Amino acid sequence: DGQDVVKTEPILLQWTPVPNATFYIVEYSRKKGFDSNVTVTEVVKTNQYTIPASYFPSGLATGYWRVTAMNEYAICNIQTNPPMSFNLVNVVSNKVLTEVKSWQVNPNVVTSGHLFQLNIDINKKSDMELSIINSAGLISHHQKLSFNIGKQSIEIKSVKLVPGTYLVVLKSDTGMESRKLIIQ
């Protein structure tokens, strides 16, 4: 609730799964009152949904969302809390890793406990930090890396990562970049 999200990018909503729920009704809106003319309602079977980047207009500062857990027979939890909100912000700068030609995480969908690789092409010898951050913003894995010029591959074991969506973040003195990683 109240987190900053970049308004020009898709917005990932995630919530704690509710016991006995077989689907969720997700509502997101430009207004706190969830007026029907500016509210979108979606039905999903997982505990996450991505709002398209194009939904929120450029002048809007806050977006709102709420979720109702359901199964075929009943509502699993009554909506008693107020809706959640997030702040829509513009990107003020984008410092890329100048010493990196390209990098990717392979495979992108990994079974928990299995290896995945960081494939990177470096144009300047450098030291970096690798962090894996969960959807709550907590660092699940961190290590320091030294790279020589050229293409390299580093294996990382996903032993301590529970199923979910993560950000793999590379940081150096020149900037920071991230890639999405899904653990199943």
| Per-residue model confidence (pLDDT) at position 86 | 65
Q: What is the pLDDT of the chain when averaged over all its residues?
A: 82
- Name every residue whose Cβ is closer than 8 Å to that of residue 54 and which is 6 or more positions away in sequence: none
Q: For residue 167, give the nearest of 146, 136, 127, 121 by alpha carbon.
A: 136
Model pTM? 0.51
Task: Work out the pLDDT band at 166, boundaries 50, 70, 90.
Answer: confident
Strand partners, 48: 14
Domains of the chain, CATH where assigned: 3-89 (2.60.40.10), 100-183 (2.60.40.1930)
CA distance 143 to 131: 7
Tokens representing 168 are 């793999």
Tell me if residue 121 falls in helix, strand or coil: strand
Q: For residue 167, give the nearest of 142, 128, 135, 144 by alpha carbon.
A: 135
Instruction: Give the helix, strand, coil percentages of the chain, each rounded to 5.
Output: 0, 55, 45
Task: Summarize pLDDT for 94-124 with one digit per residue, the tens.
Answer: 567 889 999 999 888 888 888 899 999 999 9
Task: Work out the pLDDT band at 80, boundaries 50, 70, 90.
Answer: very low
- Backbone phi, psi, residue 154, to 5°: -125, 130
- Please report the DSSP string for 50-88 in residue order: EE-TTSS-TT--EEEEEEEEE-SSSBSS---SPPEEEEE
CA distance 184 to 179: 17
Residue 76 has pLDDT above 70, yes or no: no
**Per the omega criterion (within 30 degrees of 0), is the bond before 17 cis?**
no
